[in-house]
Amino acid sequence: MATDYYGILGVGRDADDAEIKRAYRKLARELHPDVNPDDETQARFHDVKNAYEVLTDPQKRRIVDLGGDPLETARSGAGGGGGFSAAGFGGLGDIMDAFFGASGGGGRGPRSRVQPGEDALIRIDLTLEECATGVARELTVDTAVLCEKCTGRGAEPGTQTMTCDTCDGRGEIQNVQRSFIGQVVTARPCPVCRGVGEVIPHPCAQCGGDGRVRSRRTVTVQVPAGVGDGMRIRMAGQGEVGPGGGPAGDLYVEVSEERHEYFRRDGVNLECDLVLPMTAVALGTTISQRTLDGEEELHVEPGTQHGHTYTLRGKGMPRLRSTGRTDGRGDLLVNLDVRVPDRLDSRQTELLRELAELRGEERPDLHSQRNGGLFGRRRSGGRGR
């Protein structure tokens, strides 16, 4: 059974928008979860919200008036069976199809001419910076939209759809055959009305009776800050309108994040390498570190080791919550990459030799054994240097 959206709001089928809004406001005040947190009231509040959403959307309301349930089809997903009202096409219908080779077979009545529309998917390329700040993008979408001339009915304005004579409105034709096992009744969809049970004597000139036409339009998607590769933004009702002007599917915008020349992304954290010459690291220095927000001073203490990671708190990507809001930011991890000088000239070699001598490092094998190294430290159990 289709949900009684009018009943839920307690309004008549001819109620106008203002009336529906009044009824909704009144119920919402009574049932609001902040006032009544119990489960039953919350479920009712949810129903009331749905009913309001459906009845204030002209397209969805029309589905209801046609005996369908726009949310039912939305729940069952695009491309699937689902179907309107009691005349479902999924489940048992599919099994019947297997037996009868007919869609909606088994005497389950005509199928609705009005079908939910398909979802649509568009991919957009975003730079890391755009992912970090969020961005509004204009997209050109080419989808089926409601035919304005017949408002989805499929019949030329001023004309009516008619019950199909061939199947008497049942949408299927039964065939009784006698065979050695007795009477065999088979049903197949009516070829004249294609199972719908009604025909359009004067199809709309604009859409040819389909109730929808293709149209190119521009929509603007608001990409929130913090999105990442593969994330999808759902734009409800911006997909394809279904046959017979059925409720539109959703438009999904999938983010494809471009590789950044400097930063690597790991969830909400960013990583990068800080390449410094050995001398600078040995002596200590202050450098200007690139971040997403500009330059930041970074102090390299004398004697910092290769592979050391500096954590710049809050300099990563915004943390995007499922609500679409952001909640703080990740960190920027700067990995120190110390480069040993190569291609030394004789003077530089001389200086380094002298340094090695001063530090007692002429025999590095002895040096590393004396100072422990990894194994030595482990054996002695000490943590000191």
Which residues here bind Zn ion, judged by CB under 5 A? 147, 149-150, 164, 166-167, 190, 192-193, 204, 206-207
CB 52 within 8 A of CB 9: yes
State the minimum distance, in angstroms, from the CB of residue 155 to Zn ion. 8
Pair 63, 151: CB distance under 8 Å: no
Least distance between Zn ion and beta carbon 148 (Å): 8
Helix (H) or strand (E) holding 238: none
Q: Which amino acid is at 6?
A: Y
User: Based on CB atoms, which residue is closest to Zn ion, 51 or 204?
Assistant: 204
User: Could you tell me the smallest distance in angstroms from the CB atom of residue 166 to Zn ion?
Assistant: 4
Residue where the block lists tokens 């991890």: 333
Phi, psi (deg, nearest 5) at residue 105: -70, 180
Q: Among residues 189 and 226, whose Cβ is nearest to Zn ion?
A: 189
Closest to Zn ion by CB, 62 vs 265, is 62
Distance CA 337, CA 277 (A): 8
Closest distance to Zn ion from the beta carbon of 230 (Å): 38
Nearer to Zn ion, 185 or 366 (CB): 185
Nearer to Zn ion, 64 or 190 (CB): 190
Decide whether 54 or 155 has the Cβ nearer to Zn ion: 155
Tell me which DSSP letter residue 115 carries: -
Closest to Zn ion by CB, 207 vs 272, is 207
CB of 61 to Zn ion, least distance (A): 19
The amino acid occupying position 51 is A
Question: What is the rounded CA–CA span in Å between residue 30 and residue 11?
Answer: 17
Interaxial angle between packed helices 17-31 and 39-55, expressed in degrees from 0 to 180 and rounded to the nearest 10: 170
Which one-letter amino acid corresponds to residue 11? V
Cβ nearer to Zn ion, comparing 56 with 166:
166
Shortest distance, position 245 Cβ to Zn ion, whole Å: 8
Yes or no: say if 66 and 198 are a contact pair by the CB < 8 Å rule: no
Which of 64, 66, 41, 35 lies closest to 51, judged by CA? Answer: 64
DSSP state of 199: E
Which is it for the CA torsion 232, 234, 239, 245, positive or negative? positive
Tell me how far, at minimum, the Cβ of 171 lies from Zn ion, in Å. Answer: 6
Measured from the Cβ of residue 252, the count of other Cβ atoms closer than 10 Å reads 17
- Measured from the CB atom, the residue of 188 and 319 that comes closer to Zn ion is 188
In whole angstroms, the minimum distance from the beta carbon of 62 to Zn ion comes to 14
Which residue, 167 or 270, has its beta carbon nearer to Zn ion?
A: 167
Closest CA to 246 of 106, 91, 85, 122: 85
Q: Decide if 203 contacts 81 (C-beta within 8 A).
A: no
Tell the smallest beta-carbon distance from residue 161 to Zn ion (Å). 12
In angstroms, give the least distance from the CB of 186 to Zn ion.
16
CA distances from 188 to 87, 100, 174, 179, 184 (A): 15, 7, 7, 18, 13
Distance CA 28, CA 15 (A): 18
